[in-house]
Chain A
């Protein structure tokens, strides 16, 4: 597709439930990133994939959060035993490769997760 696609756009779940958030990057982009954005704050880094492997998962807040990218394209962010504090907009971005300082990311519009 022309851009980064994230589904669903909105997700409401009950506390304690499991959720999956999906990201379809731009075709051919080898690098994929997940960020989380709370109201009034800038996006916060969660995890970065280069191909199929997680190159940096230092931003995952705890072991309830997990992400996969099994074929080096689509990625799924998984959250177990959701808590109200997990409510945020989850953003996905992709880039042609891990480029160091040069080049830009393309972000999706995000999934708004609400835990009630």
Chain B
């Protein structure tokens, strides 16, 4: 499976934007880029995913580099509730590849009031 690299931790101030980077230099043409986050004592929560184009939803935005070797999850205004571990995951779009997510250790985001 293609791997991702994320910083272990980041800090942000409340109400400021946060840019969480992810490198995936060995991404293949059929890999989707998924982001999940995990709040304390909860299971992971789906945030957003994309293939080639930038994506926006009510939770966040996903900016994908033109060569797809990196991506950035953008939280437009961080709140205390956004403190969590954020996972960047590549998921093969071919149905023959199976259907599991392979998690790394993610980025632990701390939000300062």
A39–B46 alpha-carbon span in the complex (Å) = 21
Q: Smallest distance from the beta carbon of B59 to chain A beta carbons, Å?
A: 11
Q: Is A98's CB within 8 Å of the partner chain B?
A: yes
A49–B105 alpha-carbon span in the complex (Å) = 25
B30 x A101 contact (CB < 8 A): yes
Within 8 A of B (CB), among A1-47: 4, 31, 33, 35, 40-45
Q: Smallest distance from the beta carbon of A24 to chain B beta carbons, Å?
A: 13
A100–B51 alpha-carbon span in the complex (Å) = 12
A54–B31 alpha-carbon span in the complex (Å) = 23
B103 x A98 contact (CB < 8 A): no
Q: Is B68's CB within 8 Å of the partner chain A?
A: no
A101 x B92 contact (CB < 8 A): yes
A101 x B41 contact (CB < 8 A): no
A42 x B103 contact (CB < 8 A): yes
Q: Is A62's CB within 8 Å of the partner chain B?
A: no
Chain B: number of interface residues, binned into ranges: 20 to 34
17 A-B pairs with CB atoms under 8 Å apart are A33-B99, A33-B100, A33-B101, A42-B103, A43-B101, A50-B99, A55-B98, A100-B93, A100-B94, A101-B51, A102-B93, A103-B49, A104-B36, A105-B46, A107-B43, A107-B44, A108-B43
Q: A55-B98, A56-B100 are in contact. Are A101 and B91 (CB under 8 A)?
A: yes
Chain A: number of interface residues, binned into ranges: 20 to 34
Chain A residue at minimal CB-CB distance from B103: A42
Q: Is B45's CB within 8 Å of the partner chain A?
A: yes
A59 x B100 contact (CB < 8 A): yes
Q: Is A93's CB within 8 Å of the partner chain B?
A: yes
Closest 10 CB pairs of A and B: A101-B93, A107-B43, A104-B46, A42-B103, A101-B32, A98-B99, A45-B100, A100-B93, A100-B95, A43-B103
Q: Is B54's CB within 8 Å of the partner chain A?
A: no
Residues of A within 8 A of B95 (CB): 98, 100
Q: A41-B105, A91-B43 are in contact. List 15 more A-B contacts (CB 8 A).
A: A33-B100, A35-B103, A43-B44, A48-B99, A56-B98, A93-B43, A99-B99, A100-B97, A101-B94, A102-B93, A103-B49, A104-B46, A104-B49, A107-B44, A110-B42
